[in-house]
Amino acid sequence: MAGEGARRGLVDGDPAGVRAAARQVLGSAYEMQRVADRLNRYEQFTTVIDGVDIHLLHVRSPVDGATPCVMTHGWPGSVVEFIKVIDPLVDPVAHGGEGSYALELVTPSLPGYGWSGKRAAGRARERRGV
pTM, full prediction: 0.67
For 59-74, b/e burial (b = at least 16 CB within 10 A) is bebebeebeeeebebe
**Parallel, antiparallel, or unpaired for β 103-108 and 67-70?**
parallel
Asked whether residue 9 carries a pLDDT value surpassing 60, the answer given is: no
Residue 123 confidence class, pLDDT cut points 50, 70, 90: low
Chain segment 26-58, per-residue pLDDT in tens: 665 567 778 888 888 999 999 998 888 999 999
Asked whether residue 103 carries a pLDDT value surpassing 50, the answer given is: yes
Q: Mean pLDDT throughout 69-87? A: 88
- What domains can be seen in the chain, in order of their start residue? 1-30 (no CATH), 42-118 (3.40.50.1820)
Q: What is the percentage of the chain residues whose pLDDT exceeds 90?
A: 38
The sign of the dihedral angle between the CA atoms of 24, 111, 74, 95 is: negative
Give yes or no for a contact between 62 and 91, defined as CB atoms under 8 angstroms apart.
yes
